[in-house]
Amino acid sequence: MEFIKKNLKWFGIGGCVLALISVFLPYISMKATAYGLKISESASLFEANESWVIIVCLVVAAVLIFFKQKIFSLIPLGITLSMLVLYVIDDIEQMKEFEELYGSYAKVY
């Protein structure tokens, strides 16, 4: 327990760096194959218009954690979390439309 308390700052900064990397990676892929036709779609947060807000919030949170302002770092982390939830909800709706369009041929990964 003492190890975690001693290195909490670095765990927080590491979490922000991992979240920052994940912004650029696809988090959902959809594929459909029917009659020799292959269709593939994927979504990442970097494709969104407001992705710069997420990137700035994660950098600000990492800086605040580094300077031991843990309470204030919750503000940009909360903004990031709420934006992520909204994007995932929107992508789930798009995934349902994809499945309705291609029916049983569609697979979501």
- Indicate the pTM of the whole model: 0.72
Number of Cα atoms under 13 Å in the Cβ half of residue 93: 5
Residue 48 CA: distances (Å) to CA of 11, 52, 78, 96, 106: 27, 9, 18, 19, 23
User: What does each of the 109 residues of the chain score in pLDDT, given as a tens digit?
Assistant: 788 778 888 888 998 999 899 888 887 777 777 777 787 777 777 777 778 888 899 999 999 988 988 788 889 989 988 988 888 888 778 777 777 777 666 666 5
Chain centroid to Cα 91, Å, comes to 11
